[in-house]
Structures are given as C-alpha cells and as structure tokens.
Chain A
C-alpha cells in the first residue's frame, strides 16, 4: 500500500510531531471545507494530532472552532457532496480518508465509536433503547437477536442502569437525561471500540450527573483500554481526564501538549481566556469569571494573520503588525508542548506569570 509506505517514510511535515509506535489514531493535516451559498467554510483547516491507546485527548474550543467537525471527519461522517475532506486519518495503521466508504463504515461503531452531546435527539425516538443497542451490535457481529439482546442488557448493566433487563425495552423518552447518556455510552461501547470519541458528552446534563458520566467514561476506558477523544468547550471536563490537550480556534490548532503542561503553563492567549472563563473549585466566589471578549470568527472570512488577533489583548506586542498579517505556525514551547503565537516565549511567560496566573 503506497499510502502506508508514504506514512512510514514520514512525509515532510514541519508541524506534525513524529509518530510513535503506540499511537492508535493519527490525524495529519486534516482539512474539512464546506461549499455553502455564502462561500467556502473552512471548518477544519490543517489539524494534526495523535491519540494513544488507553490515553485521552481533550479537544477544547468554543462552538464553531471545528472540534466536532474534526471528530466527525475522523469517523468519516461527512458524506455530503459539498464537504471536501483532505489530509490523512490513520486508524490503527489504516488510512481512512482515501479508503472505500463501505470499509470505513465497517470500522464505524466497531473500531471507533462515538458518544453524542444530546442523547435525546441522538437516539431514535421510535425504537427502544435495547433495539438500538442490539442494532449496533448485530451490524458488526453475526449473532442471534437473542444473544444480541443479552449483550445489550449486559452493557446497560455495565453502564450502571438499574434493572437493565426491564429497561432494555424502554424508549429513550422514558429515560432520565443521565440514564439516556449511560444508554448512549452502552451503545457506543457495545462492540468494544478501541477509539471512543465523546462529543460534549455531559453538556446536556446537570452538574452532579456530569461527574458520574465522566467517571463512567473514565472507568470504562481503563477497563477496555480504549483511546478516548473528549471534545468539550469546558476545560473543567478535561482537566480531570485528559492526558493530552488540543485547543482549537477558527478551525485550527492553537495550542497542543500534555494536559498538565497546558494547564500549568499555557502558552496561547486564547488558552488563557479559556482558563479564565473556567469555573474552579479553588476560586473565591466573589471573583467574576473573565469571559473572552468578542465573538468567534467567521469561518468563511477568517481574520488575516493570527485568527485570534481581533480578540487578543496582546495583539500589538509583536512588532510590525505581524499578528495581523502573518499566520503564526505551531512552534514547540516545551516537551511536546506546542503553541501558535507571534509573541516570544519570554513575553508569553511573563504575561502568564505576572498578569494571568494570579487572577485565576
């Protein structure tokens, strides 16, 4: 396979890190553009990342930053003729973008599975929960309905749904929000996927349930040893779970690195903003959250230079107006820690330690 050969040879790619052997999913320069009546929407524009088995990658960003589009791209779910997908997605040594659609379909739900944000709308209202799990199981496993049903009950039990033998015949609308999300997780995990993508899995849930669900995903990950991509706009969600972090803005990656490093020494003003708007247990109640001013950028007409420049309070620090004319590339700022900003390392270090960190 020529594709595989090319990857093995290591295409010259200045941005992407080298691929270690234990990487289960490797995304290289993924671009997903959509033709619309208003113009070309560059939802994802050159994103690369790796996810290791048993590890969790958190993808963080505002809505419209391209994080969900990225995950659907990995799953091969951009089917519309108006979607243009390019780049490479390597899943367990197999490239998916150029692969046959039916081949990718066979991987979906088996090797890679997805948990969606709102389980009420993401589950079919007309079919029982059990039926939908059975369907997911039987499409990849040649088993009897009875066996599949047994499997569904087992999975419902595993995700902590009480009386699973009874609830298996229930319909999504009969479940509470948390239970529905558990059922959704059961459905995603029914085929022991090696990659689990969770797209805002807790957003629609209330806070106490959120924690339970996150714990559940965490426990199941440990148990199955899956790689997990956790997509969220809430840094708090990934803080506890993620091994690595990818911060997206305007369809691009602005900062990436081990979660610990990104949290302790963030090197992009946008990440600072995200941290500032994150509720923390250790923050004093009187302090107000600091929202990022301005609105997310249009994906049709991204601001020239650094896409974040109109909202960045430090846009004028680099000389020659470079923030508004030249797009910053990801540069390594520490061990596997990358960020795309025109400010010098020192400037960023200083601003972080002197201005930002104390306020958090």
Chain B
C-alpha cells in the first residue's frame, strides 16, 4: 500500500542521511564507529564496535538488515549471549546497545499524551475564539482575540513555556512539578501534571486555529447556503453551528490531522522546556549521539503517526463532506 511504501522511502532517506552522507563526506567506517565508543576510543574498541554494529558492511546491506529486522526480528550480541529482538525490531542503540523499541514504547505515551491534551485545548479554545471573532468581526472582542492570537503565533514555545514554568512552578507554585504520570495509573494526576505543557503548546496552536477558524467562518458565513438557511427561518445559532461551522471546520480537520500527527514526534521544545521524556526529546538526544537506530525508530514512528492521522483525516473528511465520499 501507499502508506507502507511511504514509510519505506522515509526510512531509506533517513538511513541515507545518517549513513551515506557522512561517507560521501569522507568519513570512514572507523570514524563512524569512534562516535559510539566512550571517551577511551582505542583502536581495538573501535574495531570491535565497528564489527558488532555492522558498520564494516556495505551500506545497502546494513539497510537490508535493518528492514529485515523490522519484519522478521534480528539477533544481536551485546553481552555473553546473543539475544533475539522480535519484530518490529528497530535494532539496538549504537550508543547504549539497548533495544530501541521498548524505549520508544515507553516514550510514545508521553508524546501522545502531550499531543492529545494540547490538541483538545487548542481545538476547543481556538475554534470557539475563531467563531466568536468571526461573528463579531471588527468589534472589540474580535480585535482583542486576534491580538492575543497574533501573540500566540509569534511567541515561541520556549518563551511561553519557560514563563509559565517560572511563574507557576516556582514563583507561585501551583504545581509542585511538571511530570508525566501514566494515564492508566491516575487519569486526574495525568491531566493535572501535564496541564502546563498542554497550555503552552495549545497557546501557539489555539492562536493558529483561531485565525483559521475565523477566516473559514467569515468565508462560510457569506456563502449562499447560509443565506438559504436564514431564509428558511432557522435560528441564528442553528445557522452558525449547523450550517456555518460544519463547513468552516472542514479545512481545519485536514490541518488538525497533519498538525496532530506531526506533533506526536516533534513537540521537542515543549518536551525540553518541561523536561518530559517523549520521543521528541529522545530524538534530539539520538541526533546528538548520532544514534542511528533510535533516529530511525523515532522517524518511523513519527512518520507512522503522520500517515495514520492523514488516513483518519481522509475518513473524517468523507464523513463530513458527501462530495468526497462519492467521488
């Protein structure tokens, strides 16, 4: 299927960036391997690591082995005995020689929780603000909302995040700490401890969505079918919500799907500011360490979410717009 092919291409490109490009730049396998030995990079250690990580093989073979591991699992030996890493095997970290997938499995819920909560907040606040703004176009409430939205779009997350953190964890300590408490462990704690990161992340996106919704509503409310709805004698609230908002939300659904999918793997700044151990922060560490298997894992997981969310968007879209359904 298209999605699988896409993921394959994504993995190949990632692989090439991390393997082929340095080699084309003149890096030898030894130099690559040196990065994964600790401070004391003596030739024997480098050689041992090079062999054990398969860096001495041709690049295409390494890629093939990676793909094979994904589908069929692979055997690795970073200790007294060889261990089997079952499919989907994203391999072992070059740096710590720990299996990548269990690490990802632990971190995906963090990133996902961050994205879900933030998304809920920004959708509700962004769309509401956008609708009110559009209906009160030019009035003070519209101007104020749009000013705040402009601030939200312009202020970087590390600023809003740090300010919120400094204010509400230290100066006026409403929160004792910002932490990830698994949802399954305690949903209330989960939400409470993620609220600040959600708000900082949502602030940026609400602003964006408020502007989008406003523009969409303004356009929709001038459509002929809105006039028809009014001519039928429908109440204004029905006209706005049932006829106006539904159409105005269609493009929002598309953008939301993409934003959400992307966000799962890329909320790096929020995760960093609030010291959350999600896959975004994990990938930054991996990139710093040049830890290819983790980078591959994160990239694939992120790509998977994007592809998955787009798929969901397509389905939702069809549910919303009958014209899409039948063509």
Contacts and interface: CB of A to CB of B under 8 A. Distances in A.
Touch between chains A and B, by CB atoms below 8 Å: yes
Contact of B323 (A77, A116, A139, A171): A171
Contact of B228 (A110, A124, A128, A171): A124
Given A118-B224, A126-B246, A139 B233 contact: yes
B231 interface: yes
A173 B228 contact: no
Interface stretch (A17-25, A100-108, A272-280, A349-357): A100-108
A167 B236 CA distance: 28
Contacts of B247: 124-126
Contact of B322 (A116, A118, A126): A126
B234 interface: yes
Nearest to B234: A139
Given A171-B322, A171-B323, A173-B322, A123 B228 contact: yes
B223 A108 contact: no
A136 B235 CA distance: 11
Interface in B182-233: 223-225, 227-233
Which of B229, B238, B247, B326 has the most chain A CB within a 10 Å cutoff?
B229
B50 interface: no
Indicate the size class of the contact surface on chain A: 20 to 34
Contacts of A250: none
B255 interface: no
B323 A125 contact: yes
Contacts of A79: 230
Given A116-B227, A125-B321, A106 B233 contact: yes
Nearest to A121: B224
A19 B241 CA distance: 41
Contact of B225 (A75, A110, A121): A121
Given A125-B321, A126-B321, A171-B322, A114 B231 contact: yes
A122 B227 contact: yes
B254 to A, nearest CB: 15
B227 to A, nearest CB: 6
Interface string B3-17: 000000000000000
Contacts of A260: none
B102 to A, nearest CB: 45
Contact of A77 (B225, B227, B243): B227
Given A118-B224, A125-B225, A171-B323, A108 B231 contact: yes
Interface in A123-147: 123-126, 128, 135-136, 139-140
Nearest to B322: A171
A18 to B, nearest CB: 30
Contacts of A128: 322
Contact of B232 (A72, A109, A126, A171): A109
B320 interface: yes
Contacts of A174: 326
B225 A124 contact: yes
Nearest to B231: A114
B25 to A, nearest CB: 54
Nearest to A104: B233
A77 B228 contact: no
Contacts of A227: none
B224 A126 contact: no
Given A116-B224, A126-B320, A109 B233 contact: yes
A259 B7 CA distance: 71
Interface in A231-272: none
Contacts of A41: none
B232 A108 contact: yes
Contact of A108 (B224, B233, B321, B322): B233
Nearest to B323: A173
Contacts of B227: 72, 77, 116, 122
Contacts of A171: 322-323, 326
A173 B243 CA distance: 17
A140 B232 CA distance: 9
A18 B291 CA distance: 91
Contacts of A121: 223-225
A135 B225 contact: no
Given A121-B225, A123-B225, A139-B235, 16 more contacts: A72-B227, A77-B230, A79-B230, A105-B233, A106-B233, A107-B233, A108-B233, A109-B232, A122-B225, A122-B228, A124-B228, A124-B247, A125-B225, A125-B321, A136-B233, A140-B233
8 contacts: A77-B227, A108-B230, A113-B231, A116-B228, A121-B224, A124-B229, A125-B321, A139-B235
Interface of A: 72, 75, 77, 79, 105-110, 113-114, 116, 118, 121-126, 128, 135-136, 139-140, 171, 173-174, 187
Interface of B: 223-225, 227-236, 238, 243, 246-247, 320-323, 326
User: Top 4 closest A-B pairs, CB basis?
Assistant: A109-B233, A108-B233, A121-B224, A109-B232
